[in-house]
Amino acid sequence: MSSTRSTTVVRHSYSGGVQTGGNFSRMGGGGGGRQSFSSRSFTLGGAIKSSATPMLRSGMGSGYGGGGGGSGSGSGSFSSYSSYASGGGGGGGFGGGGFGAGGFGGGGYGGGGFGGGGFGGGVSSSVPLITQVQVNQSLLAPYNLEIDPNIQTVRTQEKEQIKTLNNRFASFIDKVRFLEQQNKMLETKWNLLQEQTTTRSNIDAMFEAYIANLRRQLDGLGNEKIKLESELKNMQGLVEDFKNKYEDEINKRAGVENEFVLLKKDVDGAYMNKIELEAKVDALQDEINFLRAIYEAELAELQGQIKDTSVIVEMDNSRSLDMDAIVAEVKAQYEDIANNSRAEAEKWYQSKFQEMQVSANQAGDDLRNTKSEIAELNRMINRLQNEIEAIKGQRTNLEAQIAEAEERGELAVKDAKARIKDLEDALQRAKQDMARQVREYQELMNVKLALDIEIATYRKLLEGEEIRIASGGPSTTIHMQSSTSSSGGGGGGGGGSYGGGFGGGGG
């Protein structure tokens, strides 16, 4: 019994793109099992072209094994936070295993990786029978590999892109370090602000104690103000009483002055009467003296006539005329009249003078009493006016002190409120600044995480590239392009061995 297996030439192209998932394919030579899994990968735009010459595998236990063929195609675009992968075509190999084209998936760098082909074709189940070998001449044609001459340029571009990305990564690392320093500085500021919050509470307690003290002083000044206002009302009542008394005394003084004027008029009238009486007394004295002189002159004349004349009269002896007695009697009568008149005038004058003197003394006493009372009232009025002025000055000073204390209290309260508001604003600004910096820090952490992912991606790319270069896989032609669609199939495997490797992502 004989078996013939032929492998046709497989020619496929691969256009890589952004894949969110890739397929891992493993094909066994002769209809082996197939396994697949999804992995996140990047694909570079490009095309991989390969051709394989089919080989003939004998069914003998030591015969040749034919490699299984695999093909795949894919297209995609470069997307961030993904890895590169490229699918490749599996080619037939000589002696039971060919080159399997496979990409390094799962976040790696593909692009025509080495597909592990092995010697296939184990011992046939019909070992005892030797069958005739039929050779397909078309499989003996030379293997044609279409190698793109621009592969070195593409690889140089890839290296430059990797350098650029490494430089970007270094700048991102510097930025992360700078932001970490900023974060430490912000944490220090936050701790200082928390300590300032404690200080602020102490300042609040101090301001509250100071405000309470000012309020107590203000209450004390208010009570003192009420007390002084009551005293001021009492003093105003006393002033009104003294003012009324002063007005009464003024009225009494006016009445006494009127009485004094009247008494003065009476005294002046009495004095004028006294002068008139004195003038009358003088006139009467002069008249008395004149009459006395006349009387003496007449008496002397009569005596001279009598002395010079000798009259002989014969009269009756029964009657005798005593002229001396008559003259003496007349003289005595005139003297009595003059003395009586003088005595009456003197007596009247003395009585009037005594009455006027008593009235004048009484009026003088009243005037002196009135003057002393007026002087006493003036002194009392001056004293009360001085006391009133002193009380008014004290009241003005107290009102000024109360106003100043109220103003100081209001200024202290306003200052305390302004400081509290400034501290609250500073705390709010610090909180906002911290929130902003926390957001920036979170964004930087996100960027750092993305950079870590990108670094891992670059590492996978480099490892995949090193594996591809070291394995000497099929030549690939990679053209960088931007594409938004993706499609592709898994790589093929060698005959019964690990032929495909990691293939391009399935579309």
The answer to whether residues 496 and 30 touch, using CB atoms and an 8 Å cutoff, is yes
Q: What is the CATH number of the domain that holds 259?
A: 1.10.287.2610
Residue 445 clears pLDDT 80, i.e. is over it: yes
Last residue of a domain, one of 409, 436, 451: 451
- Bridge partners (DSSP) of residue 100 are 115
Give the Cβ contact number of residue 244 at 10 Å.
10
How is 138-203 classified by DSSP, letter by letter? GGGSPP-----TTHHHHHHHHHHHHHHHHHHHHHHHHHHHHHHHHHHHHHHHHHHHHHHHHHHHHH
SS (H, E, C) 265-281: HHHHHHHHHHHHHHHHH
pLDDT greater than 60 at residue 31:
no
Give the model's pLDDT for residue 480: 40
Distances (CA, A) of 371 to 184, 245, 298: 98, 16, 63
- Report the pLDDT averaged over residues 115-119: 39
Which CA distances in Å does 95 have to 58, 65, 112, 145? 9, 5, 22, 19
Q: Is 121 helix (H, G, I), strand (E, B) or coil?
A: coil
- What is the structure's pLDDT at 115? 39
The predicted pLDDT at position 143 comes to 52
Q: Which of 372, 392, 417 is the last residue of a domain?
A: 417
pLDDT band at 197 (very low <50, low <70, confident <90, very high): low
164 in a domain, yes or no? Answer: no
Model pLDDT, residue 502: 39
Residue 159 lies in a domain: no
404 and 490 assigned to the same domain: no
pLDDT digits (tens, 9 = 90+) for 77-89: 333 333 333 333 3
Percent of the residues in the chain that have a pLDDT greater than 90, as a whole number: 0
DSSP conformation class of 90: B
Confidence band, pLDDT 50/70/90 cuts, at residue 135:
low
Please check whether residues 352 and 218 belong to one and the same domain: yes
- Among 499, 503, 496, smallest CA distance to 31 is for 496
Check whether residue 350 and residue 228 sit in a common domain.
Answer: yes
What distance in Å separates the CA atoms of residue 116 and residue 120, rounded to the nearest whole number? 12
Residue 48 binned pLDDT confidence (cut-offs 50, 70, 90): very low
Residues 219 and 335 in one domain: yes
Judgement on whether residues 217 and 344 belong to the same structural domain of the protein: yes
Query: Residues 172, 174, 180, 186: is their CA dihedral positive or negative?
Result: negative
| 145 — pLDDT class (breaks 50, 70, 90) | low
Considering the domain architecture, whether residues 506 and 443 belong to the same structural domain is answered as no
Q: Give the model's pLDDT for residue 140.
A: 62
Count how many domains the chain has.
Answer: 3
Q: Assess whether pLDDT exceeds 70 at residue 303.
A: yes
If asked whether residues 194 and 214 sit together in one domain, one would say: no
Are 295 and 181 in a shared domain? no
Asked, for residue 371, whether it belongs to a domain, the answer is yes
In a domain, 436, yes or no: yes
Is the residue at 318 inside a domain?
no
Per-residue pLDDT tens over the stretch 264-277 = 888 888 888 888 88
Confidence of residue 65 (pLDDT cuts 50, 70, 90): very low
Q: Domain check: are 413 and 423 in the same one?
A: no
Q: What is the residue range of 80's domain?
A: 1-145+474-507
Instruction: Say if residues 23 and 73 touch (Cβ distance below 8 Å).
Output: no
Task: Determine, yes or no, domain membership for 401.
Answer: yes
Indicate whether 30 belongs to any domain. Answer: yes
Write the pLDDT tens digit of every residue in 314-332: 554 445 556 677 778 887 8
Stated as kind and residue range, the H or E segment containing 415 is helix 323-471
pLDDT at 430: 85
Please check whether residues 408 and 334 belong to one and the same domain: yes
What confidence score (pLDDT) does residue 32 get?
A: 37
pLDDT band at 137 (very low <50, low <70, confident <90, very high): low
Is residue 25 within 8 Å of residue 35, measured between CB atoms?
A: yes
Do 265 and 233 have their domain in common? yes
Mean pLDDT, all residues of the chain: 67
- Say if 360 falls within a structural domain: yes
Task: State whether 8 and 127 are in the same domain.
Answer: yes
Is the pLDDT at 70 greater than 60? The verdict is no
Q: Which amino acid is at 56?
A: L
